[in-house]
Structure 1
Amino acid sequence: MPASALDLLSGDAQTFVTKVWASRAHLHRADPERLVALLSLDDVDALLTSSAIRTPSVRLAQDGAVLPESSYTRGATLAGRPLTGLVDPRKVLALFEGGATVVLQGLHRYWEPITRLVAELELELGHPCQANAYLTPPGAQGFAVHSDSHDVFVLQTAGSKQWEVHGPDGVEDALLEPGASMYLPTGTPHAARAQETVSLHVTLGINQLTWRGLVQRSLASLVAAVPDEHLPAGYLEDPAALADELDRRLEALAAEVRGLDASAAVEAEVRRFLTTRSPRLPGGLRDVLAVGDLADDTRLRRRPGHPCVVLPRGDRVEVLLGDRSIDMPAWLRPALDELRARRELTPGDLLDLDPQSRLVLCRRLVREGLLEVVS
């Protein structure tokens, strides 16, 4: 993986800020091997034909219509209990050969290269992200012109696809081949058709956190504290009296709004985001088995896509790890700052701690998933 997820998608962070979020489509070409490594045709083949993948992780569409699940799924039993929605590879392959597009939904939840990319991208952007993939047979089109309610990165990993992108200045065509990525702002109408060969592309959806949402969350407790009393009887005949009372209540609320601590509200927003991500622990089994043998010279590495944000709490600190937070004594802050600043280290590098304390800290952070053992 490149040092920055944005390097793969848009060239660099500055390009992303100045061009990508300037409300227009943006094309970028990267090393094709980097994109193919995210999801190849062989990877999709294995998921569809050699795994127990189930709906809603897979859906099929053809000529603008979503096909019923019953046309490509089957039932089975496991330990005597029924399983439903299992993808039937024979049915899927037959429909694909007949022109249907296969959609792999929620790839960030079960395909490790995408999981890692999405985790890194979420930390760089500060917005929740998701990923789907679209396998389209030669010459076919799965969906008619449509728009999405979130920003989209398109990553072409196999074959080619002709995109029809609608903008304020008309319709533009873009041919995406392996190594190409394209950004589409929220609400951009678009459609795409595979060319002479099969097409495979991944879409990364950016579910934007907005100023409106932040303001609403910051004011939620104040609004919730307003008494949920009935409006007084007779206000239809005397609306001026109701307006006077509403003015009084709004003035009181405005005074409370002016007293809000913006820094505290932002800290709460950071904490909310960095304690609600999905757990991502590739290699966790190996780490649990190795943690008992940790020594001063054991090489450790920050797990990619995992934050380590330290918030002061008096004589304690709260450490945000992405999917949750942990509580630690404040005297560990210098060691935690050292961990935050370095990509790799050994317990022996934590010179502020005695040998036993630094091993205890590192063992815990390996178990918590922040650190991984370098084999």
Structure 2
Amino acid sequence: MSLKRCVALPPDEFRASVFGHRHVHTPAADLPDDFTDLFSPHVLEELLSGGLRTSSLRLVRDGVEGDVTRGCIAESGDAPGTPPFPDTDGIRHALASGQTLIVRSLHRFHPPIRRFAHELAAEIGHPVKVNAFVTPPGSQGVDLHFDVQDVLVLQIAGDKRWLLRTPPLPDPLPAHAWFDVPARRREEMRAASRPLADLVLRAGDSLYLPRGTMHSPMARDTLSIHLTVAVSTITRHDLLGELVRKAVDDDWMRVGVDTDGLVADPGLARNLLREAGERLAALAADAAPEDVLWALRKAAFREQTPEPVPFLPLPEGVRPPGVHRLRAGVYFHTASVKDGVQLSVGNRRVRLPASVSPFLAALHRDQVADMAGLTAALGEDDARKVAAALVDIGLLLPPSAAPWHATTAQEAVLPEGAPGRESDPDDS
């Protein structure tokens, strides 16, 4: 479990009494392993010289952005505006001048971190993103600030001092992002916070910070490398946003308003706001909670990149070992419809026979693809077709010992009326 390797507390206790409530510093001695299987100086060198574009990199010192494209040469054949490949000499000089290098979105392209992020997101229930910070000795990328995500810091190499102060704003939302508010307001919030902790993270240590915790990290006398695991908490505000989106079907909500008239008549404006609130309350009372929660999760995880699916067809005559399994990082929803069940994976939907429902319920509960049970329910031929449809829609990974699809293109295309025919958007 990813959470167990980051904190020494039992996962249930962490979620109940720590997550969103208080910071926790865990020394390496209290954790089962270090984090070098996820990231290391050697991996960093390989990534920078192995094909990353500068769009995945940032340079910053004392809050001032550096030019990560300096010294880069555009690749012939690239479309205009395509980010170039980094100039490693330029990166080396930037680090020597005290700039912090940030490698963004490691969860998208570095397999060990992608697996870690998928598992952690499933355990915590919120989307996870991972960046790496490489800070030269005695340097600081950003001064005292807070983040609008909960953060797990995993120290990879060197050490770093962290000054912590209390949150000046409880549970900030993305609209409160530190660098988006005026400088005067930032100073007010700095003044409103109080000292919380002064600690040093050494290689193998971890630090959890609830969103809003003020922090000022600075490398000491060695190069520091750490991972920042950002957890974008799904909030009540997000839930309200989904209700507002559902209100587009209310004719009253779509009627235009005369803002000049409302400004001139505060009583009329108050009555309008009251009726809008009452209509949202009525919508909340009538809405199916499972539909609202699915829309909420789908929106929250829209940037979460699932485990890659092999995209090349199997060579003719090859039958791979293994079984189908649930694709890591995929979230899905089922709903009963006439003569079947409708499966939603992201923005894609497929209608399946009702006899597939126990199979999907087991996936939700145990995250195990019971192919034997599916075959017993449908028969071998239809079970194979349904499995191919579930691979095609992105829910399952095919059995494979190499990066090859387990089904041929012909098997993945279902005839009209066959089990697993993908429904039209309005076919419900």
Matches within 5 A, 1:168-183: 170-183=195-208
Q: Provide closer, same or farther for how the CA distance between residues 171 and 228 of structure 1 changes in structure 2, counting only shifts above 3 A.
A: same
Q: What does residue 60 of structure 1 align with?
A: 59
Q: Which amino acid counterpart does residue 38 of structure 1 have in structure 2?
A: L
SS of structure 1 residue aligned to 2:241: helix
Matches within 5 A, 1:59-98: 59-71=58-70, 73-78=72-77, 83-98=82-97
Unaligned segments of structure 2, at least 5 residues:
167-192, 402-428
Q: What does residue 280 of structure 1 align with?
A: 306
Contact 2:106 2:131 in 1 (8 A): yes
Contact 1:158 1:200 in 2 (8 A): yes
Q: Which amino acid counterpart does residue 25 of structure 2 have in structure 1?
A: L
Q: What does residue 162 of structure 1 align with?
A: 161
SS of structure 1 residue aligned to 2:25: strand
CA–CA distance in 1 between the matches of 2:278 and 2:194? Answer: 48
Q: Which amino acid counterpart does residue 258 of structure 2 have in structure 1?
A: H
CA–CA distance in 2 between the matches of 1:322 and 1:233? Answer: 42
Identify the match of residue 282 of structure 2 among 224, 247, 256: 256
Q: Which amino acid counterpart does residue 158 of structure 2 have in structure 1?
A: G
CA–CA distance in 2 between the matches of 1:39 and 1:259? Answer: 47
Q: What does residue 213 of structure 2 align with?
A: 188
Contact 2:305 2:329 in 1 (8 A): no
Q: Provide closer, same or farther for how the CA distance between residues 37 and 102 of structure 1 changes in structure 2, counting only shifts above 3 A.
A: same
TM-score where L is the length of structure 2: 0.73
* Greater strand share, structure number: 1
Q: Provide closer, same or farther for how the CA distance between residues 283 and 221 of structure 1 changes in structure 2, counting only shifts above 3 A.
A: closer
Cα drift, residue 109 of structure 1: 1.9
Tell me, yes or no, if structure 1 residue 230 matches structure 2 residue 258: yes
CA–CA distance in 2 between the matches of 1:175 and 1:290? Answer: 54
Q: What does residue 24 of structure 1 align with?
A: 22
Tell me, yes or no, if structure 1 residue 354 matches structure 2 residue 379: yes
Further displaced range: 18-27 or 131-140: 18-27
CA–CA distance in 2 between the matches of 1:279 and 1:234? Answer: 45
Q: Provide closer, same or farther for how the CA distance between residues 323 and 172 of structure 1 changes in structure 2, counting only shifts above 3 A.
A: farther
Cα drift, residue 155 of structure 1: 1.0
Identify the match of residue 7 of structure 2 among 7, 10, 24: 10
Aligned residues, how many?
A: 366
Q: Which amino acid counterpart does residue 319 of structure 1 have in structure 2?
A: L
Cα drift, residue 133 of structure 1: 0.6
Report the RMSD for the aligned CA atoms in angstroms: 3.4
Q: Provide closer, same or farther for how the CA distance between residues 348 and 63 of structure 1 changes in structure 2, counting only shifts above 3 A.
A: same
Contact 2:362 2:370 in 1 (8 A): no
Cα drift, residue 262 of structure 1: 5.1
Further displaced range: 192-201 or 275-284: 275-284
Q: What does residue 107 of structure 1 align with?
A: 106
Q: Provide closer, same or farther for how the CA distance between residues 145 and 279 of structure 1 changes in structure 2, counting only shifts above 3 A.
A: closer
CA–CA distance in 2 between the matches of 1:48 and 1:323? Answer: 34
Q: Provide closer, same or farther for how the CA distance between residues 72 and 246 of structure 1 changes in structure 2, counting only shifts above 3 A.
A: same
Q: Percent identity over the alignment? A: 27
Cα drift, residue 37 of structure 1: 1.1
Q: Which amino acid counterpart does residue 286 of structure 2 have in structure 1?
A: L
Q: Provide closer, same or farther for how the CA distance between residues 291 and 133 of structure 1 changes in structure 2, counting only shifts above 3 A.
A: farther
